[in-house]
Structure 1
Amino acid sequence: MTQPEKSVAIINASAPLSKANAKDALDIALIFGSYEQAVSLYFLGEGVYQLVAGQQPEKVEQKDFLKTFAALEFYDIENIYVCHHSMIERGLTNHFSIENVQVLNRDDFSTSLHQHQTILRF
């Protein structure tokens, strides 16, 4: 009998430049990905701002860690989800800084999230 694949869901609920949480979540995702763990990224609440294209963190004297999202495909991190309700609350559109983001309603977001063995929230 084969063991089910362990999967990790990482919830990004923090604005990109307000705390280190957003960068920490991305770093953890890449670490899990480097060990070939199944990783999915979820964005909700203030975390949806991490996906906004055209941010300029250098204007607030921050390092642009958001460019690291481009590395996700090299780590086979392809399951990226955003909460549609969170986007609507913040007046955001589907113009994301990365490709292949799936916009999910609240129910589908929750269902997808709870299919993982481990859930980490940042």
Structure 2
Amino acid sequence: MAKSLLIISRQSPWSGPGAREALDIVLAGGAFDLPIGLLYLDDGVFQLAASQDAKSLQQKDLSANLQALPMFGVEALFFCADSAAERGLDPGALSLEEAGPLTAGEITALIDRYDQVITL
């Protein structure tokens, strides 16, 4: 049986390649039917903000890839509720409706459920 994998994405979508790399790993894992989850933490929650203008930052927009996650079988999507609140993001207005909010204690339990964890 394949080991489960949790990807923790902590970088904003415009701060470097980390956000794109995390998403690529999750999509690849989903394509191979790996038990995979994705957690947005710290500035990573900015990836879920609606109405981002990636072109003005000369970046590629990740929103289409985010919407493709369920089509790749990736349904374990989460974000840190505290990180979103600290950054002024309304959880109800995030672009990825499938992502569920977690508290710090729930995040610890989530990490414990996975065999391997990668943080980007």
TM-score (norm 1): 0.92
Which residue pairs with 1:7 in the alignment? Answer: 4
Q: Which has the larger radius of gyration?
A: 1
Give the CA deviation at 1:55: 0.4
2:71 counterpart SS class? helix
2:19 to 14, 18, 22: 22
CA distance in 2, matches of 1:121, 1:46: 13
1:41 counterpart SS class? strand
1:84 to 67, 81, 100: 81
Q: In the TM superposition, what whole-angstrom CA distance separates every residue of 1:57-89 from its partner, at most 9, and x where no partner exists?
A: 001121213321111011110011111111111
1:35 to 27, 32, 47: 32
Q: In the TM superposition, what whole-angstrom CA distance separates every residue of 1:17-70 from its partner, at most 9, and x where no partner exists?
A: 110000000000011111100110001101010010110100112121332111
Which residue pairs with 2:64 in the alignment? Answer: 67
CA distance in 1, matches of 2:20, 2:29: 14
2:107 to 106, 109, 112: 109
Identity across the alignment (%): 30
CA distance in 1, matches of 2:88, 2:107: 19
Which residue pairs with 1:45 in the alignment? Answer: 42
The list of structure 1 runs, each at least 4 consecutive aligned residues, that deviate by more than 6 angstroms after superposition, is none
Structure 1: gaps of 5 or more residues: none
1:9 counterpart SS class? strand
